[in-house]
Chain A
């Protein structure tokens, strides 16, 4: 089955800095890569996603890049704000068509004011 590795486990930045979270996956047939943000006491919420036919996608301060050859994808957050502090999860979907994602272990992002 799919295996997703996520790094770093903790990331501490100053407000206004950029943050980068990296993930690798094992199944070359995976074709959908969502990123979720989980705030304390809440369920994960989708913030951005990318499909295997696209190399990069951007939404305001958030961008995701995908390298299919190397089987890794990254989340980039620019101009970080304290409200960006949360746990971020990457995921890769099940290539069998049931759309069941495998999640990374999460990155705790702390943005200091």
Chain B
């Protein structure tokens, strides 16, 4: 069974730029959620994708957007980067509709630094 993978592991961008982060869900999982984790904080929910559509969104502005593909993998896009966007971005997958649907299985994260 393959776990959740994310790429890249680290990324450095400058303010105003755009970034795309990628996530492959765990085998058999059809739902992907994205979280932002600032230093010393718990993960904050950004949004969730199910059946290639956004299915729930946290308190994040529209410049945070995403996609889910037919193979359940997902992308997180952030436009007009701000310094406060510097954080660890976590992807988690779940097998919605199946046993264990309420447990989030996290990837290792992408560390984004905005200068």
Count the A-B residue pairs with Cβ separation under 8 angstroms: how many? 55
* Given A34-B103, A43-B106, A46-B103, A104:B42 Cβ within 8 A: yes
Q: Are A89 and B43 in contact (CB under 8 A)?
A: yes
Q: What's the nearest-Cβ distance from chain B to residue A31, in Å? A: 9
Q: Are A43 and B41 in contact (CB under 8 A)?
A: no
Q: Is A12 located at the chain interface by the 8 A CB criterion? A: no
Residues in chain B near residue A102, CB distance under 8 A: 45
Where chain A touches its partner, the secondary structure class is: strand
Q: In the complex the two chains form, what is the Cα distance from A43 to B104 in whole Å?
A: 11
Q: In the complex the two chains form, what is the Cα distance from A49 to B99 in whole Å?
A: 14
Residues in chain A near residue B109, CB distance under 8 A: 42-43
Q: Are A44 and B106 in contact (CB under 8 A)?
A: yes
Q: In the complex the two chains form, what is the Cα distance from A45 to B44 in whole Å?
A: 16
Q: Is B90 located at the chain interface by the 8 A CB criterion? A: yes
Q: C-beta contact mask, B2-16 vs A, less than 8 Å → 1, else 0?
A: 001000000000000
Q: What's the nearest-Cβ distance from chain A to residue B89, in Å? A: 10
Q: Are B42 and A103 in contact (CB under 8 A)?
A: yes
* Given A34-B103, A45-B106, A104-B42, A98:B56 Cβ within 8 A: yes
Total interface residues on A, CB under 8 Å, equals: 24
Residues in chain B near residue A103, CB distance under 8 A: 42-44
Per CB-CB distance, the 6 closest pairs between chain A and chain B, nearest first, are A103-B42, A43-B106, A99-B102, A32-B102, A98-B56, A44-B106
Contact surface of A with B, Cβ cutoff 8 Å = 6, 32, 34, 36, 41-46, 49, 89, 91, 93-94, 98-106
Contact surface of B with A, Cβ cutoff 8 Å = 4, 33, 40-45, 48, 55-56, 90, 92, 94, 96, 101-109
Between A and B, 9 residue pairs with Cβ closer than 8 Å are A42-B109, A43-B4, A44-B43, A98-B55, A99-B96, A99-B102, A103-B43, A105-B41, A106-B40
